[in-house]
Homo-oligomer: A and B are copies of this chain.
Amino acid sequence: MAARRVLKAVLVDLSGTLHVEDTAIPGAQEALKRLRNAPVVIRFVTNTTKECKRTLLERLRRLGFDISEDEIFTSLTAARNLVEQRNVRPLLLVDSSALSDFEGIATHSPNAVVIGLAPEHFNYQTMNEAFRLALDGAPIVAIHKARYYKKKDGLALGPGPFVTALEYATDTKATVVGKPEKTFFLEALRSTGCLPEEAVMIGDDCRDDVGGAQDSGMLGILVKTGKYRPGDEGKIQPGPHLTCESFPHAVDHILKDLI
């Protein structure tokens, strides 16, 4: 029975779960405080290719969340960890606002490509530079492969199409590090010392948050805030461990039934 697991770690999505843009989900700050009183390690996990940890942290604190920087694990963190593990020097095709998450990483004579959403780098010359590196064997690390995203003036290309362009040109596959990749969740857990079986993930994206976490061996709780649309829980098989109204309800369930 899932409810008999010994829960030691809780992973929490940010946008759509704790807040929607500059508004906190009602009761979320207080629910987080209650969760902190339980014997669990907490990590805040998010797919971002533009916002460094510091920016995320500033917004969360402004909204009244009690969070420290080392509790945040993003797709940029995952990319940095991979670069460090492989000991490679990346050509960083990421937004300038994301560069601070790569501070201290050697980037001279690059022998790897890290690619996020970086419109200013998506021109022929820079794509060609990345292509030549990849053709020479440089691994391509994709922050994530989203097709597009919503901007104020309409839809706009995500990093996925440009990752796919390099994959096609070089007949190779990029290593994707963001949600819903299994490695993302395992890497997020690494610093907690907990096993996937001892963890639960709370998020508003059924596929990327809940499905990815459950594929990694964790429990997944879907919240009906943020990008949630009725019927989303049917998008994955098996379905979410639980679907509830919002983050505070998810915390209630964890404290009552999982610990």
Residues of chain A at the chain B interface (Cβ within 8 Å):
119-120, 122-125, 127-128, 131-132, 135, 147-148, 154-158, 160-162, 164-166, 168-171
- The residue that A164 contacts in the complex, of B122, B127, B164, with Cβ under 8 A, is B164
In whole angstroms, what is the CA distance A68 to B166 when docked? Answer: 40
In whole angstroms, what is the CA distance A170 to B135 when docked? Answer: 26
In whole angstroms, what is the CA distance A124 to B158 when docked? Answer: 10
B122 touches A147 (CB 8 A): no
Determine the residue in chain B with the shortest Cβ distance to A127: B157
Residues from chain B with a CB closer than 8 A to the CB of A123 are: 122-124
Question: Lowest 5 A-B CB distances belong to which pairs?
Answer: A161-B165, A119-B124, A164-B168, A161-B169, A165-B165
Given A123-B122, A124-B123, verify A155-B135 contact (CB < 8 Å).
Answer: yes
- A74 to chain B minimum Cβ distance, whole angstroms, is 22
In whole angstroms, what is the CA distance A168 to B158 when docked? Answer: 11
Determine the residue in chain B with the shortest Cβ distance to A168: B164
Residues from chain B with a CB closer than 8 A to the CB of A119 are: 124-125
Residues from chain B with a CB closer than 8 A to the CB of A120 are: 124
B155 touches A160 (CB 8 A): no
In whole angstroms, what is the CA distance A169 to B156 when docked? Answer: 10
In whole angstroms, what is the CA distance A128 to B169 when docked? Answer: 20
Residue from A127, A154, A169 having most chain B Cβ neighbours under 10 A: A169
Q: List 11 A-B contacts (CB under 8 A).
A: A119-B125, A131-B161, A132-B155, A135-B155, A147-B169, A160-B169, A161-B165, A161-B168, A162-B165, A164-B164, A164-B168
Determine the residue in chain B with the shortest Cβ distance to A151: B128
Determine the residue in chain B with the shortest Cβ distance to A156: B128
Residues from chain B with a CB closer than 8 A to the CB of A154 are: 132
In whole angstroms, what is the CA distance A124 to B123 when docked? Answer: 6
Residues from chain B with a CB closer than 8 A to the CB of A164 are: 164-165, 168
In whole angstroms, what is the CA distance A167 to B125 when docked? Answer: 21
Residues from chain B with a CB closer than 8 A to the CB of A166 are: 161
